[in-house]
Structure 1
Amino acid sequence: MADARIFQRPKNATQSGRARTDEWVLEFLSREKMPVDPLTGWNGLADMQAEVKVVFPTLEAARVYADKHGVSYHVVPAPQPKLKLQAYADNFR
């Protein structure tokens, strides 16, 4: 049985837009440690399922998919945005 996590796609830190932040992603977790290649020093996996990410429009759709295919999952709640209210006049205090 595969393990997965379901999370809401976060806002891109380098952009001001909020495109695709309403999507939910089901990401399969790797069951093995990432070995280091002695020649190149890069990490690699033989488990290709760890590379799979499935995108859904809602959390419920992701849960239905996981239940239908026998995938055990945990839901990572979306972080609450912190609003920093600031006025232009605060720059001159």
Structure 2
Amino acid sequence: MAARIYQQPKSAMQSGKARIEQWVLEFEQSEARKPDPLMGWTGSGDTQTQVSLSFPTKDAAKAYAAKHGIPARVHATPPKGLKIQAYADNFR
């Protein structure tokens, strides 16, 4: 069962920097989702996709995956850039 390791992005409603330094290990889907005939909801019998583990560093997440024999891919965090602009630029 493969997993992916990534850094949790900041949500659109979040202005602060709380909990953006954490790294997350999530398992990938091992079986396809299928619609439920009665309700029409999609689901699968794979319960590992519901597991999400948080770690303080990328190395801690990689060490956990290696210790438990989980093949994991690390997704790089995109660089954060600030767009510096003056208030007067809104009127140009």
**Is the shorter-chain TM-score for this pair beyond 0.5, marking a shared fold?**
yes
1:22 & 1:72 partners in 2: Cα distance? 23
Number of matched pairs: 92
Q: Report SS of the residue matched to 2:39.
A: coil
CA RMSD, Structure 1 to Structure 2 (Å): 1.0
Q: Select between 44-53 and 68-77 the one with higher mean Cα deviation.
A: 44-53
Question: What is the percentage of aligned positions where both structures have the same residue?
Answer: 53
Structure 2 spans left out of the alignment, 5+ residues? none
TM-score, normalised to structure 2, is: 0.94
Structure 1 spans left out of the alignment, 5+ residues? none
Please give the residue correspondences for 1:4-83 in structure 2 after superposition, counting only pairs within 5 Å. Answer: 4-83=3-82
Q: Which amino acid aligns with 2:50?
A: E
Q: Report SS of the residue matched to 1:5.
A: strand
Q: Report SS of the residue matched to 1:50.
A: helix
TM-score, normalised to structure 1, is: 0.93
2:43 & 2:91 partners in 1: Cα distance? 52
Structure 1 ranges of 4+ moved more than 6 A: none
